[in-house]
Amino acid sequence: METSSNNLTFHKSTIKKQDRNKLNQHKSCVLWFTGLSGSGKSTLANEVEKQLYDRGIRTYILDGDNIRLGLNKNLGFSAEDRKENIRRIGEVSRLFVDAGVLVLSAFISPYEADRAMARTMFDTGEFIEIYVNCALEICEQRDPKGLYKKARNGEIKDFTGISAPYEAPGSPELNIETGKYSLEESAKRIIEYLIQKQIL
């Protein structure tokens, strides 16, 4: 079967992203939530989406576990598989942004190089990296899925923060310390940023 990309041509649509943004009356972008397991990425993304929905903003959440149960169920947790996981998520997020949707991507995405790769898929200002900054000790205390306990017992290999590295963002658009601030305060900061950047 022929799979070479040399025989493919990108089909350009008559309706552009700008047209969809105009119809929606807001800009589209990706809010890329990155942080340790248990840091509050999904919880925060859900709260932000709720507030955006109340404002009439078209949104969609891409969550780490959900994506691995479907699109990326053939991937493991090696560095190579994590890179491919992020590449696919970046491509899906890019499609959502092109469709005029404000997409909230909540993934550990532990490697800075992989997040940088995802950023290159978007126009300037469309990739908003949100470091959900929470101390490992607090994440372990929360341990909502019991994963840290399993990782400490050697039941889970390549677990970020325990047996695999997490490279914190050097210069994220937003640094949200969920161990210090409430869910409402954290979400408010993100909404204020989107207003400041004239996305909303």
pLDDT, tens digit, for every residue of 108-135?
Answer: 999 999 999 999 999 999 999 999 999 9
Q: How far apart are CA 26 and CA 18, in angstroms?
A: 10
Q: How far apart are CA 132 and CA 44, in angstroms?
A: 9
Residues comprising the binding site for ATP?
A: 35-42
Q: What percent of the chain has pLDDT over 90?
A: 72
CA 154 centroid distance within chain: 28
- 61: β partners: 104
Domain ranges of the chain: 20-135+167-196
Single out the catalytic residue among 93, 105, 109, 186. Answer: 109
Give the Å distances, CA to CA, from 111 to 95, 103, 170: 22, 21, 11
Catalytic annotation on 186? no
CATH code assigned to 20-135+167-196: 3.40.50.300
pLDDT tens for 35-58 read 999 999 999 999 999 999 999 999
Residues comprising the binding site?
A: 35-42
* Residue 103 burial class via C-beta count within 10 angstroms: exposed 0-12, middle 13-18, buried 19 and up: buried
